[in-house]
Chain A
Amino acid sequence: MITANAAAVSATRGGAALAKLALRRGERSLLASIGLHGALISASFVSVFPIFWVLVTSFKPDTKAISPQPKLLDESNIDNYLNVLSGAKGDFLGWFGNSVLIAGLTTALAVFVAASTGYALSRFRFPGRRSLLLGFLAIQMFPFAVLIVPLYNLLLGLGLQGRALGLVLVYCSTTVPFCTYMLKGYFDTVPTDIDEAGRMDGLSPFGVFWRLVLPLAKPGLAVTAFYAFVTAWGEVAFASAFLSAADESKTLAVGLQVFIQQNRTEWGHLSAASILVALPAVAVFYLVQRFLVGGLSAGAVKG
């Protein structure tokens, strides 16, 4: 904690001091270089250490994970991973499957529904456009607490309470407006000349959208899909409340809590499970993050 603050402070201070030197002369003194790298290294350390420590812990037996003298290696082996994957400590693969299913369905549905609307909002000037855009923005503000009871009521009525499909519907309430907004930002970056050329060649507006613009916006679709997936993947409140308490219907975000409930602090196993969840997420994240930022700011900044 103290290190976190210290790094933050030194990072900002270092930044101001360095800006001075470098901009004046075009190159840095040795001292400035040391300061700059020092600040960046401490910040990187703070950012990486918690995850690194989980990685280290994931190889330790549970008893060593709570040892008063922590070491990097302490009877480390891969038993935790084997136990987690074999289901000896809760239905990990089942939770994983549920998470993939729920997040995947949410993503597919949201992007499918949102794409054409995002396009219409980007290209057509029709009465009601502005209020729709404002409405989608306003929905980003909704606390889940305002919708949780009526949605629970709705799921009860539909007989979907406690079921994965019900949770998908619930997630669509937030992901659909968000995806629409993001996709609008992407379609804005596709030049309108393409649409006009398509219309000249006799395509209908739907044809233009489907055959010309959509293929061009593929990176945007991918990033939007990724964002929707991640949101659903990590959601906790609705997943805790709307899935049945049975072990096999849980998602990862709910299931992993089992490891550290009262009387059961299996930090070694929790860490192994965490690494298994985090690895694919981190890999995909680094593949798409370049586009993610562009998309977010494009969607957010242009009205």
Chain B
Amino acid sequence: MRAFLVRHWYAYAMVLPVVIVVGVLVLFPLAQGIYFTLTNINEANIANPVLDRPASYEFVGLQNYLHVLSGSESYGAFWSTLVRTLIWTFGCVFFHYVVGLGLALLINRPVRMRGLYRVLLILPWAVPPFISVFAWRYLFNSQYGILNQGLATLGLPTPVWLGQSDLALFSVMVINIWLGVPFMMVTLLGGLQSIPHELYEAAEMDGASPWQRFRNVTLPGLRSVSSTVILLGVIWTFNLFHVIYLTAGQNPHTRILVTYAFERFFSGATRDYAVASTYGVLILSLLLVFVMFYRRAMRRQGEVW
């Protein structure tokens, strides 16, 4: 024991600050949050020292989970919200990746004004996201947004992009795809540049067609970067709140799991903290399951991480 401490105490002393912070701000709240899902906690019965009021919420067992998982409309229509969340997540990540890879391939070739293109193409990443969201809301406005004015000039229909229809989901996805492409482009560009040039030359010697070179050199060369950014992308997008909230507010047609959790936490007279926490725990469980399967799939392909 003594030898163990002598050997490792430096390491533990250096790790300690973060462990304390994470313990107090993440682990303890996580445990408490899970407990809250088993209670009926809300704004009226949470402990509030300012009002000199002790906590008076009660243990209610699995009632919150039963309510939420029943898919009832008054508890956020869990299952249809989940489907919408999946469409949102995989739709966004798919286009982030495909468009990002396409642009990375283009910009990776020797082309005049490459630096300028690069600067212009990462602009959506450089601008604070809440600003970009406002910009897009303005473009998408059904009456005076420039998009609809352009469509009207061409004699095309001018839909209400952000109204009470599934078109709103489409619109917020467009905004988020625009926001997320530069990150993918830049990371994939880094990946492309790390593929040894000899591999391409060798493939060319062997008479591989450009498509074969892309399939058999580029894609495998990008595999480790791709698996990381896709995993990150799925997690981030699944949990992404601000784009939908700032664009569409509480529009039920753009409701995903996290935005509904926030609605329950913050909006209106409900302020139902128990249901908000229940949604939080369900989201986390879904992500954990996803990551488990993802890792297993990656491992099967010979990826070690």
Within 8 A of A (CB), among B114-129: 117, 119-129
Report which of A66, A154, A294 forms a contact with B144, defined as CB distance below 8 A. Answer: A66
Does B38 lie at the interface of the complex (its beta carbon under 8 Å from any beta carbon of A)? no
Does B111 lie at the interface of the complex (its beta carbon under 8 Å from any beta carbon of A)? yes
B283 touches A146 (CB 8 A): yes
Residues of B contacting A249 in the complex (Cβ-Cβ under 8 angstroms): none
A18, A135, A142 pick with most chain B CB within 10 angstroms? A142
Known contacts A124-B8, A146-B281, A149-B33: A141-B130 contact under CB 8 Å? no
Residues of A contacting B258 in the complex (Cβ-Cβ under 8 angstroms): 143-145
Report which of A15, A148, A176 forms a contact with B265, defined as CB distance below 8 A. Answer: A148
B123 touches A282 (CB 8 A): yes
A120 touches B10 (CB 8 A): yes
B102 touches A205 (CB 8 A): no
Does A93 lie at the interface of the complex (its beta carbon under 8 Å from any beta carbon of B)? no
Contact flags (1/0) for A117-149 with B, using CB distance below 8 Å? 101110010110100100110111111111111
Bound CA span A153–B190, Å: 43
Report which of B135, B144, B245 forms a contact with A274, defined as CB distance below 8 A. Answer: B135
B120 touches A154 (CB 8 A): no
Residues of A contacting B77 in the complex (Cβ-Cβ under 8 angstroms): none
Within 8 A of B (CB), among A226-272: 230, 233-237, 240-241, 252-253, 256-257, 260, 267, 270-271
Does A202 lie at the interface of the complex (its beta carbon under 8 Å from any beta carbon of B)? no
Q: A11 — nearest CB in chain B belongs to which residue?
A: B102
B48, B126, B147 pick with most chain A CB within 10 angstroms? B126
Bound CA span A123–B157, Å: 62
Q: B8 — nearest CB in chain A belongs to which residue?
A: A126
Contact flags (1/0) for A26-44 with B, using CB distance below 8 Å? 0000000000110110011
Residues of A contacting B213 in the complex (Cβ-Cβ under 8 angstroms): 19, 23
Q: How large is the interface on B (under 10, 10 to 19, 20 to 34, 35 or more residues)?
A: 35 or more
Main secondary structure of the interface of B (DSSP, over half): helix
Known contacts A141-B235, A206-B10, A285-B126: A150-B135 contact under CB 8 Å? no
Does B196 lie at the interface of the complex (its beta carbon under 8 Å from any beta carbon of A)? no
Contact flags (1/0) for B27-50 with A, using CB distance below 8 Å? 011101100100001000011111
Query: 5 smallest A-B Cβ distances: which pairs?
Result: A146-B280, A145-B280, A145-B261, A150-B29, A12-B102
- Report 17 cross-chain contacts, Cβ distance below 8 Å, ordered by A residue: A8-B95, A36-B111, A44-B120, A47-B122, A53-B139, A69-B149, A120-B15, A132-B15, A141-B287, A145-B279, A149-B265, A159-B50, A161-B50, A173-B26, A237-B242, A253-B242, A297-B187
Which B residues are within 8 Å of any A CB, using their own CB?
8, 10-12, 14-15, 17-19, 21-22, 25-26, 28-30, 32-33, 36, 41, 46-50, 95, 98-99, 101-103, 105-107, 109, 111-112, 117, 119-132, 134-139, 141, 143-144, 146-147, 149, 161, 171, 174, 177-178, 181-182, 186-187, 190-191, 200, 204, 209-211, 213-214, 224-225, 228-229, 232, 235, 238-239, 241-242, 245-246, 257-258, 261-262, 265-266, 273, 276-277, 279-281, 283-284, 287-288, 291, 305
Which A residues are within 8 Å of any B CB, using their own CB?
1, 4, 8, 11-12, 14-16, 18-20, 22-24, 36-37, 39-40, 43-44, 46-48, 50-51, 53-54, 57, 65-70, 113-114, 116-117, 119-121, 124, 126-127, 129, 132, 135-136, 138-154, 156-157, 159, 161, 169-170, 172-173, 176-177, 180, 204-206, 209, 230, 233-237, 240-241, 252-253, 256-257, 260, 267, 270-271, 274, 277-278, 281-282, 285-286, 289, 293-294, 296-297, 300-301, 303
